[in-house]
Amino acid sequence: MQTTEKTNTAIKDLVIINNDRTQGYKTASDNTTEADLKALFTRLSQQSKGFADELKPLMTDNDKLPKEDETKNTGKLFRVWMDVKAALTGKNRKGVLTSCEFGEDKAKKTYDDVLKDTEDLDSKTVELITKKRGELQKSHDEIKQL
């Protein structure tokens, strides 16, 4: 199946939300002094980069491919909010984790929005997106459990 504009847009949105997630976890890592959280946030940041790297080849229009550091303005605002919140709460564990869970919810919603309308996506693309959505859910649950 030929990749459509709709498919390129969907993949671009997923790459950008993963860029947001990568940067968000870097911010979260900077906002904690706890070794276990730093390790978790580093792993999740790397996971996000991996997700983006797996999705990028699905786009056929390289002119629309997001740059490595391209994020949504809402992601940038969220990271600023995390910095402010961390400063006000003394970088406490619960505050940082709550912020991360909020970010995970935004990422899940982006994946869910793409998966609501898969008519123009080939089955391998849907399979990959569904798999990544499942992995994202596990990360969300891990954050929530902490």
Query: How does pLDDT run across 19-53, given as a tens digit for each residue?
Result: 888 888 888 888 888 899 999 999 999 999 999 99
> What residue spans define the domains of the chain?
5-64+71-145
Reply yes or no on whether the pLDDT at 79 is more than 70.
Answer: no
Closest CA to 142 of 47, 11, 23: 47
- 95 and 85 Cβ atoms separated by less than 8 Å: yes
Give the separation between CA 116 and CA 16, rounded to whole angstroms.
18
**pLDDT score of 140 more than 80:** yes
Q: Percent of the chain having pLDDT more than 70?
A: 79
Class of CATH domain 5-64+71-145: mainly alpha
Distance of CA 144 to the CA centre of its chain: 16
Residue type at position 145: Q
Cα distance from N-terminal residue to C-terminal residue, the chain = 43
